[in-house]
Amino acid sequence: MALAALVIALIRRPRIPRTSALLGILGMLCLLLAAAAPILRLPRRGTLAVMIDLSPSTRTANFRDAQQASHRLHELIGDTPYQMFGFAADVHSLDPAGPWTEMPAEQTVFSPAPADAIVLFSDGQFELPPSSPAAYIVADPALENVTDAAVRRLQIRGDALDATISNSGARRTASFTGTTGATTAPVGGGTMVLSKPLADQAESASVELDGGDAWPENDALTIRRSPPLASELWWIGDGSPSSKWRRFSLAQVPHDPADYLAPAVIVLSNVAATDLGASSLDHLVQYVRDLGGSLLILGGDRAFASGGYPGTPLEMLSPLSSSPPAAATRWILLVDSSGSMNGPNWQAATQAVVRLLPDLPPHDPVDVGQFAAAVRWWSAGRTAAETAQLSLPPADAVASGPTNLEPALLSIAAAAPTGIPTQLLLLSDCDAQIDQPRNLIDLFTRKQIHLHVLALGHGSGLDLIRQIARASGGRVVEQLDPAQWVDSIHQLMQTAMPTRWQTNPVTVQFMNEAASLGRQTAPAWNHTWLKQDAQPMAKSASDAMGASWRVGSGSVTAIAFSPTSDIADALARLIAQPPRDPRFTTHCDPGPHLHLTVDAADKDGYLNDLDISAEISDGGEVQTHPLPQTAPGEYEISLPAPRRPAIVTLRNQQHIIDRIAVAGRYAPEFDALGNNHATMRRLADQTGGAVIWPDDHHPIDFHWPRRDAPLTSWLSAAGALLVIFALLRSGR
């Protein structure tokens, strides 16, 4: 429009007074500027809020005094008007004249007041708000280096109480309850861990620092002792335990491995190895070695050597050996390899002999071989332990030829040494001719050879062989079923073993951890020997009568007699410890936040998608929290630390994984004290404000926002008026 008017004026050149033309041009310029929608930005002073942190963590700050805060404010804002607020857990209006009182808070919360800018007097110990006006944080010099001593952590590790204490001030003293030994300990500067043994009967324990700083709230922690994972007491075998025990007959021994997570201790009272099946023996080994349980083996006429322990898992578990550490007997195992034994009977007989070798006393010498026309030794001159490692029978051992039993027995007797008894175990169908039985009897008697025969058939020489065996102090067992030969030869071996069950009374003295049990008279007892690395727990004048040791994660205690029920009960409770599922590893970080982690894996790899949960019991309502899976086989959660002593129970579905005692913690307000420079800087950067350090006394440049004034309406009106005046003047 302006350009069109200019073109028309230039073409037509109207006679217009100069004043009118000037007014018209000015009006057109105003209209041109109005079309550009100009805005005039005018400076203005915004609203200001002053916020004073009156939470407990700022207890020693200078700004808590109204006069000092007023003086500092005058330096920073001059006469700028403001509203004052106090805050801790929430926000309240504050009288600038004071006095101000502390506002309670479990944890400081910074909720910005409605204003264009905030002058913030605080230590910065809070979470940043989602949004805030420009914040100018005033760092107080009294909070730059605070003096405080605090108990940071209190944990039970085994039978010890560990207290982590930090101290940035003068020397303090820590006092303990629920522990043994000295009840106080000095606390110097820095961070340290003080450890004290827990008292046996203490249900809780605590540590407390003597007074000396402005924050006594963090000077003490208390922890409650966790109940054991398993409270059941299992008794298997003879005896009459109290009603607190869960008693099993030999036929009732559990077969489910998961059942063995329940008992804190298992007692085997006068139980023979043959009384327990292979699966039950395997479960006992796993219970001790892998789950970390406690096993107590009690003696009797069916225990240790009398119960066939040598070569079985019970012998491996026991800290008392059923066999002497030196050779006491010579063993000869001889298999009939005549033609009449050829076929399946030969295989069954050789396997019965080979399977007997691990069950012989490991230090005794053993000769093992076969006979037919002549004697052939598979192994000679080695101990039972060494012989058991050989691959027997030899590959070329076959059954063929006549049954020359008498020459074989004569040659063995002639070669037998004197001074050590010999137990000769013979497997034969006894189909042999014996011409001189009296010579064999005399020779066996003189050489201390005891003949034991497993008769595999009713051979022609069986009656004479029975006479020779009886005269030599041995016996004959007839067994025609090859499937029973393994058990039968083991029975023969037990008959041949020296008598280890003694019936002469002895006085037993308990010692070491069991010393408080004093003395007891044992009317009968098992002859046993202390194994290397075993810790003695009882002894008589000449023999080891009790011992304990670690096996894998658990422990085994063996007593070589049958104690009274009170002594057995006391021993069991002395060694009881809860078993653990070896597939799970737990970790608890009991800091300001309770961080729980469970790692789950077995030999096949990570265990995923499990239902892991944490139950927190502090004496009130039990809280249950599922642990999310955060990585393969890893489950974790972070929770607010409990305010009262609590027990955390970790479960996999209904099965308990672990129980952890957690100390009752003070409020998060007292975890961190002093100026938090990192939070102050982040808040200033995010809001466009600044941190005012103690040595900064310059007035704050608030960078107030400007007020926008649109000019379009004014310029349009001015342009219209100027054009009207120009037209009116030109018409005169």
* Architecture of the structural domain at 330-496: 3-Layer(aba) Sandwich (3.40)
pTM score, two decimals? 0.58
Return contacts of 351-354, CB within 8 angstroms, 24+ apart: 351/486, 352/427, 352/454, 352/485, 352/486, 352/488, 352/489, 353/392, 353/393, 353/425, 353/427, 353/489, 354/392, 354/393
Residue 508 near residue 540, CB atoms below 8 Å: yes
Q: What is d(CA 241, CA 101) in angstroms, rounded to the nearest whole number?
A: 65
The average pLDDT across 244-265 equals 85
The average pLDDT across 175-194 equals 94
Question: Which one-letter amino acid corresponds to residue 302?
Answer: R
Q: Which residue has the higher pLDDT, 320 or 23?
A: 320
The average pLDDT across 286-307 equals 90
H-helix segments, 641-708: 677-687
Q: What percent of the chain has pLDDT over 70?
A: 98
pLDDT at 508 over 80: yes
The average pLDDT across 418-442 equals 91
- Cα–Cα nearest to 127, from 593, 658, 529: 593
- Tell me what pLDDT residue 284 has: 93
pLDDT at 324 over 90: no
Longest dimension (CA), the chain: 174
- Tell me what pLDDT residue 726 has: 76
Q: Indicate the class that CATH gives domain 232-322+501-575.
A: alpha beta
Q: What percent of the chain has pLDDT over 90?
A: 65
Task: Classify residue 533 as left (phi > 0), alpha (psi -120 to 50) or beta.
Answer: left
pLDDT digits (tens, 9 = 90+) for 560-572: 999 988 888 889 8
- Tell me what pLDDT residue 523 has: 93
* CATH 2.60.40.10 for the 584-669 domain, yes or no: yes
Question: 82: helix, coil or strand?
Answer: coil
Neighbouring-strand partners of residue 368 = 333, 379
Pick the CATH number of 48-141+675-698 from 3.40.50.410, 3.30.43.10, 2.60.40.10, 3.40.50.300: 3.40.50.410
- Tell me what pLDDT residue 228 has: 67
pLDDT digits (tens, 9 = 90+) for 299-319: 999 999 888 898 899 999 999
For the chain, state the CA radius of gyration: 47
Question: Which one-letter amino acid corresponds to residue 16?
Answer: I
User: Which residues make Cβ contacts (< 8 Å) with residue 701, sequence separation at least 6?
Assistant: none
Q: What is d(CA 178, CA 333) in angstroms, rounded to the nearest whole number?
A: 62
pLDDT digits (tens, 9 = 90+) for 35-87: 888 888 766 678 999 999 999 999 999 999 999 999 999 999 998 999 999 99
User: Which residues make Cβ contacts (< 8 Å) with residue 577, sequence separation at least 6?
Assistant: 228, 264, 265, 292, 293, 294, 554, 555
- Tell me what pLDDT residue 141 has: 96
